[in-house]
Structures are given as structure tokens and as C-alpha cells.
Amino acid sequence: MKVGIDVGGTTVKIGYVEADVIKYDYEIKTKKETLFDDIFKNVLDFTQKKNIKIDFIGIGVPGNVKNNIINRLPNVGIYDFDIIKCARKYFKDVEIKSSNDANVAALGEAVYSKVSESCFMVTLGTGVGGGFVDNYKIVEGAHCNIGEIGHLFIDNIHNYKCNCGLCGCLETVSSATGIKRLAYEYKKDFEKTKIDFNNLSAKEVCDKAKLNDPLAVKVLDEVSLNLGKALATISLCTDPSVFFIGGGVAACGEYLFELIRKYYKKYALYSVKDTPILPAKLGNKAGIFGASYLGGLK
Amino acid sequence: MKVGIDVGGTTVKIGYVEADVIKYDYEIKTKKETLFDDIFKNVLDFTQKKNIKIDFIGIGVPGNVKNNIINRLPNVGIYDFDIIKCARKYFKDVEIKSSNDANVAALGEAVYSKVSESCFMVTLGTGVGGGFVDNYKIVEGAHCNIGEIGHLFIDNIHNYKCNCGLCGCLETVSSATGIKRLAYEYKKDFEKTKIDFNNLSAKEVCDKAKLNDPLAVKVLDEVSLNLGKALATISLCTDPSVFFIGGGVAACGEYLFELIRKYYKKYALYSVKDTPILPAKLGNKAGIFGASYLGGLK
């Protein structure tokens, strides 16, 4: 059996996968000081208790990792950490691989959807991230930087300053944060809006757009224009068989997807205009599935 | 020995490569009607005459090919052609692989420069193309569309219409054609320019820029800004170890490269700001080298 581990900022999801099915799964708290010891100790205990034979442990982490050496997990507070050195205290010879969580989710979606050629997955949350999978293998890039698509230069209307130091980045105008920012930006032009600014969230804007609130409609139109342009750009560099979009903002559903598809078709090169743009299907199981496949499909 | 073949619009370059050295090479004319029969017949004759043992034939073609089936070579006029079916008339069991010429050139540069991780090669000629190589393997994309970077949306100043139907594409403002277009665009603002508009070429503009002609300087500055922005975009999607730039316009040399590097650093995400941007080294031998490596490095 394979173990797939999805490290998040507050919890770690651990799953045991066999024949494309999660047989067992549970969560532990993310504690910065003892994170990987906690993980491997828990897996060892559970494995022994259930008398499971495991032959692979895959780990998705929210940050930059290469060759099982973590460079930085900013949201967890771990830097320069050797995963294998820690793992070998608990598992002498089980194969272990790790990758960035957005890549791992993309791999999970690719395998689950049986997209053999390639897929590009976009995660729309507080920020915007991505992962690229080709022939069921993650393409990480020389600096593990593939998927930093939140920093594509897309917006030349507002040119908001991004956390990264650049201006006009995709995530300044298309993440959950970006949706709220644009709602505030255009608020003065739409006095009669029904958007509840006391409880402003991306979901609030999406819900009101579906009810035809003019401000919400304008915001989601601009968000989708930016995303459509970004996918058109990505398609020239990675040319996936399919785009998957996941994350909290994707929960807006077909209303958002139809708009993104419209603008993608407008800006994509003729040869890739028909690349499907689909909702990610695995939700919060993508990390466990994807991590379990880091060592290969068998 | 491996055979590397570089199919161009007017000639086909054929080379025999062993231990990273081109042992023999020659050219034949590109004749649309009999192109691949001409190629394989010539290779068979030469191989027999010289009593060479060949174990691989790699072919780079100027267009779209997948699994050795040509979709379209617009500049040659060949569509829907099965390379293997033709090859088997001459070679019963030699392994044969093919790919787009920009990809093949990128592979040649990656192997020659021993860039194991990944490289992205940009070809600046009449148009702008590219190729992406990861771990000495070409990443082609689902529609063999990787490298169509000439159609990245980059320019929102002039928004010229591109041949592809879109507006603001990189190649409208950064190819050899784009350089000439921009020279005409700004001509009226620089009456004292020394650019010879009767013999206008990208080289003429580059030469005059090096002599500090204000119009030429302005044009190359804008061309480099566009290219720097485009490389910054590409680095977020493919994150190569190194960028190579080749093609006729790259012959402008360090003057152009320094400007491109300046703007790349300005627009690239902090994590990839130091990715080197280097002139391609193989010149017109990149096609032969790259094609010979299509089957692997050994």
C-alpha cells in the first residue's frame, strides 16, 4: 500500500491508498517544532497497528522542496529541512518522495481523471498557484518555480502592488483577495449593490453575481477576463491536454467557469482554443491521492 | 552512429553524429513532392557507401508533428504525412523519431551545454518561436504547441494585429519583422536618424543602435522590454535552468542581451531573477545535433 501525505498550515492529512482507493485516512495537527517526526511516528504506529505493508510514502508540502530537502515552508515556518534524514529514524528503506502541494494536487487530478498527456491545475484561493503534470510526472522546474502563475503579469488597468514586489500580478486581481479588492475598487460606481461589505468574501461576490448584482457581475467578469488571459498564456508555454481549476474560488461553479472559458477562447491561439477548462474533481483528497502517486502509478 | 536531420524550407541538413561530434554532414534541396523519399534514399546511399552502421535517425521539421505523423509543415507544403511509413521503404528496423525544429534546436543546445535540468530556447527570426527541454527530453505539449511563445500577449502600446488573428503578440514587436515595424512606427519622431530605410533590416537597426542612433536605441529598448517581460512570463510556467536565445536577431549580440537581461530582472519573480540568458551556441548545427539526440543521449 502507498501512503499519501498532504501537509497543510493547520493540519496534515494522511491517507493509505491501494488500487486508486483511499483505504484509511486521518489527520494530525501541524506543529512546526516536531512536524515531520510527528508525521513519520504516526504513520509507523498506524501501519504497525493495522499490520499494513507499505512500499511508498509521498508527501506534498506547502512550499519549496527539491530532492526531499525543504527550502522553505513559509506558512509552517520550516526552512532547510532534510525529510529523508528524519524519515530514516522510522522507516529504514521505504521509498520516499516529496513535492510542492500544488504540483501534487495536479498529479492527483491527472491520475484520477486519467489524463495521460498533461494537465495544468490552477488553484484559486487566497492566492493563485498552479501545477504542471506531463505524462503522469510533475514538471517541477529548475527552481521548483513552475506554478507560480499567481505572478503572471496580467493586469494593466489597476496595476496593484503584489506581495512579491511586482505589480499587476494575476493574484492581485483574481484570487479570493483579488475579488474582494475589485469589489471595493468599483463600489463607488454601484451604489445600489446588494453585496454585503460587512461580510465581504469571494463567496459573497460570487453569490451576488449569480443574482445579477451589477457590481458583482462586473467584478467576476474582470476576474474571469484575467484568468482567461492567464490560461491562454500558460497554454503557449505548457500546452496541457486539460486545465483543472480548484480551490475555494472555484466553488463559484459553472457561472465562473463559463466566463473563464469565454475569455480563454478569445485570447488563446487557434491551435489550443479547444483545451477543456474543468473543475478539479478531488477536492481536499487531491493531496493524498497525488502524494501517493509521486513514486509512479503502480 | 546516429543520424540527425534538420528539414528547412529550402535545404535539408543531414549529419552523422558519434560521441558528440558531427563526423559527416551534407545538404540536399527541399523538394515538396519527394521530400522524405529524397531524405531516406540519400541517407541509405551515403550509409552504404561509407559502410556506416546507424542505429537511430532523428528528424526536426518546421511545423507540427506528433508520433512521427506530420500534421502540417506550412513553409514546405506538406500535410498529414506518415514519416515511418515512408522510412520503412528504406530502413526496416532503425529507430526513428521526429519533433518540431525549435524543440530539436533546444535539445541540441541543452545537450551541448550539458544543462541537465531544463532549458528554454527562444528563436528570434522572422517570427519568434521556442522549445522547452526538461531532463534532456523535449516537452512537446498535448497539441505540440509548446514554444508558440511568439503569440504571448505582451504589447498593449501598439496592439498590432498578428498573423494568428490575435493582437499584441510578442512577435509583432520583437521578431525581425517587429523590429522593422517599430522603426517605421517611430520614424517621424526621429528625423535625424541614420537608419537606412531603403535597406531596412533588423541588422541595420541593431548596427545603428550600437552607434547610438536615437531611433535605433529606442526600438531595441522596446524590443528588449517585450522580450524581458516574455521571458519572465515563461519562467513562471516552465522555470528553466537557463534561457538560450538564437536566430538571426540574436546575432545583434551582447548589446541586445544586456538589455533583455535588464528587463528580465525587472519583471521576473524574485526566485528566478538569476536565471541566465545566454546566446545559443550551436548556430545552424543545433538542428543536426538535437535531432541526433531525439532517441536519448547514449
Contact A237 B240 (CB under 8 A): no
Kindly list the residues from chain A whose CB atom is less than 8 angstroms away from the CB atom of residue B167. Answer: none
Per-residue pLDDT tens over the stretch A155-178: 989 999 998 999 999 999 999 999
**DSSP assignment, residue A295?**
T
pTM score? 0.91
Answer whether B237 touches A (CB < 8 Å).
yes
What percent helix, strand, coil does chain A show, rounded to 5?
40, 25, 35
Is B67 in the A-facing interface, judged by CB distances under 8 Å? no
Nearest CA to B110 out of A142, A65, A117 is that of A142
Contact B237 A149 (CB under 8 A): yes
d(CA B132, CA A116): 19
Whose CA is closest to A134, among B127, B132, B181? B132
- Asked whether the beta carbons of residue B117 and residue A142 sit closer than 8 angstroms, the reply is yes
Q: Is A71 on the interface with B (CB under 8 A)?
A: no
With CA atoms as reference, report the closest residue to B166 among A271, A220, A159.
A271
CA nearest A239 in B: which residue? B141
pLDDT above 90 (res B12): yes
Q: Is A23 helix (H, G, I), strand (E, B) or coil?
A: strand
Secondary structure element (H or E) that encloses residue B126, with its range: none
SS3 A162: coil
Measured distance CA(A250)–CA(A246) in Å, rounded: 5
**How far apart, in whole angstroms, are the C-alpha atoms of residue B242 and residue B252?**
20
Q: Is B225 on the interface with A (CB under 8 A)?
A: no
Q: Which residues in chain A (183-222) have CB-CB distances under 8 A to chain B?
A: none
pLDDT band at B116 (very low <50, low <70, confident <90, very high): confident
Per-residue pLDDT tens for A22-62? Answer: 999 999 999 999 999 999 999 999 999 999 999 999 999 98
Per-residue pLDDT, A75: 80
Contact A235, A272 (CB under 8 A): yes
CA angle B286, B288, B291 (to 5 degrees): 100
The stretches of A113-213 forming alpha helices (DSSP H) are 170-174, 176-186, 202-210
Which residues make Cβ contacts (< 8 Å) with residue B129, sequence separation at least 6? B102, B122, B123, B147, B148, B149, B150
Nearest CA in chain A to B242: A142
Q: Kindly indicate the confidence band of residue A298, based on its pLDDT and cuts at 50, 70 and 90.
A: low
A82 secondary structure, DSSP code: E
Percent helix, percent strand, percent coil in chain B, to nearest 5: 40, 25, 30
Nearest beta carbon to residue A272 from set B145, B235, B272: B145
Whether the CB of A17 is below 8 Å from some CB of chain B: the reply is no
| Mean pLDDT across chain B | 94
pLDDT in tens, B53-84: 999 999 999 888 999 999 888 888 899 999 99
Residues β-bridged to residue B131: B121
Write the ipTM.
0.90
Site of grid cell 493509505: A16
- A269 burial via Cβ count (<10 Å: 0-12, 13-18, 19+): buried
Interchain CB distance below 8 Å, B145 and A239: yes
Three-class SS of residue B214? helix
Quick one: A103 exposed, middle or buried, by C-beta within 10 A (0-12, 13-18, 19+)? buried
Sheet holding B128-134, edge to edge: B137-138, B128-134, B118-124, B242-246, B277-279
Report pLDDT for B274: 97
Of A91, A106, A105, whose CA–CA distance to A57 is shortest?
A91
Question: Would the CB atoms of A237 and B239 count as touching at under 8 Å?
Answer: no
Q: Which of B142, B238, B267 sits opposite A118 (nearest CB)?
A: B142
Residue B152 to residue A233, Cβ atoms within 8 A: yes
Chosen for mutation from B121, B237, B243, B274 (greatest number of chain A CBs closer than 10 Å) is: B237
Do residues B62 and B7 touch, judged by C-beta distance below 8 A?
Answer: yes
pLDDT in tens, A176-209: 999 999 999 999 999 999 999 999 999 999 999 9
Q: Does the pLDDT value for residue A107 go beyond 80?
A: yes
